[in-house]
Amino acid sequence: MAGELTLSPFLSDALVILGAAGIVIPVFARFRITPIIGFIMIGVLVGPYGLGSLVPRIPWLEHITITNPEALTPFADFGIVLLLFAIGLELSFNRLWQLRRLVFGLGALELLIIGSSLAAFLGLAGSMSWTGALALGFALAFSSTAIVLPISGTRTPVGRAALSMLLFEDIMIVPIIFILGALAPNASDDGWSGIATTLWQGGLVIAVLLIVGRFALPRLFAQAARTKSPELFLAASLLVVIGASLATALVGLSPIVGALIAGLLIAETEYHTEVELIMEPFKGLALGVFLITIGMSIDLFDIGAQIGTIVLAVVGVLVFKAAVTGVLLRLMGARRGTAAETGVLMASPSETTLIVLAAATSALVVDLETARFWQTVTAIGLTVTPLLARLGAIIARKVDGAPALPEDDDDADRTIIVGGGRVGRLIADMLQTHGKPYVMIDTNPDLIEQARRDGYRATFGDAARGDALTRLGVETAPAVVLTMDEPVLAQRLVAKLRTTYPDLLIVARARDTDHAAAMYRAGASHAVPETLESSLQLSEAVLVDIGVAMGPVIASIHAKRDEFREQLERDGGLSEKPKLRTSSGTAQGAPAG
C-alpha cells in the first residue's frame, strides 16, 4: 500500500535491545540482582525459541522479537573486545608482570588438566572420536571472561586468580582453533605451518603495537584533550581499540589480544581515567547484546525433551571444574576461601566454548547434534554463573570460618573507611574514642580477619566495584575516608563517588602534594599528603623541645596546615567550595567535583 510506514528489521532489533536494557538494568538493580541474568532471560524471551517461534501465528510479535539473531553477532563480539579493553585500563604492565606466575603457571595447569581430563572421559565413553573428545574437552575447559570479570573484579584475591586463568585461556584460543584445523580429517600439512606463521607474525604485531603505542598514544590523546571535545576524545578511544583489535586479527590472533594491549598502553598515560569513563556506557550496552545472544541460543523445548541428560552434563562439568580449580589454587598457596570461591565462579563454560565448538564442527571433528547439545549446556552454564558467584561467596565464608560482621548498637549512620591497614585502623580508633560509628572495608581477607579479631568493625569487599559501598550505606554516610596506598585507584574512586554522591564528604590520603592536588581535582573534600603531615609533626617536635610554648606552636601548625591546604586547592584548579553535608547536619565547605 502506498505511503505505508514500515519499520526496518535493524531498527526493530535496536528498539528491542534498548527497551530491554531500559527495563532490565533498573529493575534488577532495584532488587540488587546482577543484570547479567536479566539480559540472558530477555534473550530467551525475544529469541527464535521464545516469542520468535510464535511470529508465524501472531505476526505483530515480530516487532518485539529479534528478527535476525545472526546480525547481532558483530555487536556481541564488540562487547567482548570493549570488555578486554576495559580490563587493560584497570591493569598496568607492572601489575601484569607480577601476575606472570599465575598466568603461565596456574592458568596453564588449569586449562591443561581440565581439558585433558574431560577429553579422556568423553573419549572413554565411546560416543565420539578421540579428536572430537579432545576438541570438546578443551572447549568446556574455558571460563567466561565476559561474565566472570565484571562479577569478581580484578583487584580482589578471587579477581586476580580468575583474571590470571582467563588471560591464559584468551591467549590459547587461537592455537587451539589452529590445532583443531590441523587435526581435522580433511586437513593438510599447512595447518601446523599456519600456527608457526601466526606466532611469529603475531609477535611482530604485538611488538609494533607496544613500541608505537608508547610514543603515539600520549600525543594523540593530548591533542584530543586540547580540543575539549568529548566527541573527539571518544573517537580517538574507539580508533585505538578497534585499530589494535584489527591489527591482531589480521595476523590470525584474537582481536581481544589487541584490545587488551590497547588498554594496557592507555593505562600508562594520564588520560586513562577519562577514557575509562567515556567508554563505560558502550562497553555495558555491547556486553548486554552479547548476553542477549546467549539467551537466544537456549531452546526451552529442547531442554525439556532432554532435561535429565542436560542437567547431568551441566552439574558434572560445574562440579569437576570447580574441584580442579580449587585444588590447584590451594596447591599454589591460596587461602581455602579464595580457592573455593574462585573454583565455583570459574566452573561454568564460556562464550569461547561456543567458538571452539563452531570451529570443531566446521573441521568435522564434532557432529552437529553433539555440538548443539553442548551449546545448550554452555548457555545454561553461562546463565547460572551469577548464581555460582553467590554460592562461591557463601562457601568461602563457611570454609574460612570468618566471624560475622558485628552489628551496630544503634541505627546511626556510619563513616566508611576504605582500607584496613595502619592508617585505617588509626582513624577507626579515633572515631571509636569519640563515639562515632564506622565500618572498614578492604579487599585483603587477611587484614579483615585480623581486624575483626582485634575488635574492629570490618568487612571484606572491593569499594571500587559493584554495590559494596551502597551495601554499607554510603548514601547516608557522614563521610567516606580513603586510606589505601594506591594513588590511581584512590583517584578513580574519588571521581566515581563525587559523580554519584555530589554532597558526600570525602577525605582522602595522598602520597604527596602533587597527588593531593590531583585528588582535589577528582572531587575530594580534603586530601591529606603524608609528606606534609610528617613535616608538620617534625616541626612541632623541634619547636616544643627547644622551649617554645605548646599553645603558639599548635596555633602556628594549624595556620601552616591551612595555608598548605589552600595552596593545594589552588593547584587543583578549585575556585569555589559548595556546601557538603556533615554528620551534624550543618554545612561545610568542600572543593567542587
Q: What integer is the mean pLDDT of 438-453?
A: 80
Read off the pLDDT band of 315 (50, 70, 90). Answer: very high
- pLDDT given for residue 581 in this prediction: 42
Give the model confidence (pLDDT) of 124-161 as tens digits: 887 778 888 888 888 899 888 777 877 777 667 788 88
Task: Give the C-alpha distances (Å, rounded to integers) separating 10 from 44, 142, 230, 293.
Answer: 19, 32, 27, 15
Render pLDDT for 6-45 as a digit per residue (tens, 0 to 9). Answer: 556 667 777 777 777 777 767 776 665 667 777 778 888 8
Which pTM value belongs to this model? 0.59
The greatest distance separating any two alpha carbons of the chain, rounded to the nearest whole angstrom, comes to 100
Query: Who's near 71: CB < 8 A, 6+ residues apart?
Result: 9, 10, 13
| pLDDT on residue 182 | 62
Same topology, domains 68-400 and 415-589? Answer is no
Q: What are phi and psi of 118, to 5 degrees?
A: -65, -40
For residue 556, pLDDT over 70 is answered with yes
Instruction: Give the highest mean pLDDT range of 93-97, 460-464, 476-480.
Output: 476-480
- pLDDT reading at 568 higher than 70: no
3-state helix, strand, coil in the chain (%, to 5): 70, 5, 25
Q: Residue 196: exposed, middle, or buried by beta-carbon count in 10 A (0-12, 13-18, 19+)?
A: exposed
The residues spanned by each domain of the chain are 68-400, 415-589
Task: Label residue 537 by pLDDT band (50, 70, 90).
Answer: low
68-400: CATH number = 1.20.1530.20
Lowest mean pLDDT among 260-264, 348-352, 578-582: 578-582
Cell digits of residue 389: 558467584
Closest CA to 135 of 380, 379, 355: 355
**Percentage above 90 pLDDT, the chain:** 5
Q: At what angle are helices 107-125 and 307-331 packed, to 10 degrees?
A: 140
Mean predicted confidence (pLDDT) in 159-169 = 84
Question: What tens digit of pLDDT does each residue of 377-419 get?
Answer: 888 888 888 888 888 888 887 776 544 444 444 445 788 999 8
Specify the pLDDT at position 312. 93
Per-residue confidence (pLDDT) for residue 403, from 0 to 100: 45
DSSP letters, 243-259, are HHHHHHHHTTS-HHHHH
Topology adopted by domain 415-589? Rossmann fold (3.40.50)
Question: What confidence score (pLDDT) does residue 323 get?
Answer: 93
Q: Phi, psi (5° rounding) for residue 477?
A: -65, 135
Residue 484 has pLDDT above 60, yes or no: yes
- Of residues 371 and 252, more confidently modeled: 371
| Alpha helix stretches (DSSP H) within 184-254 | 190-226, 230-250
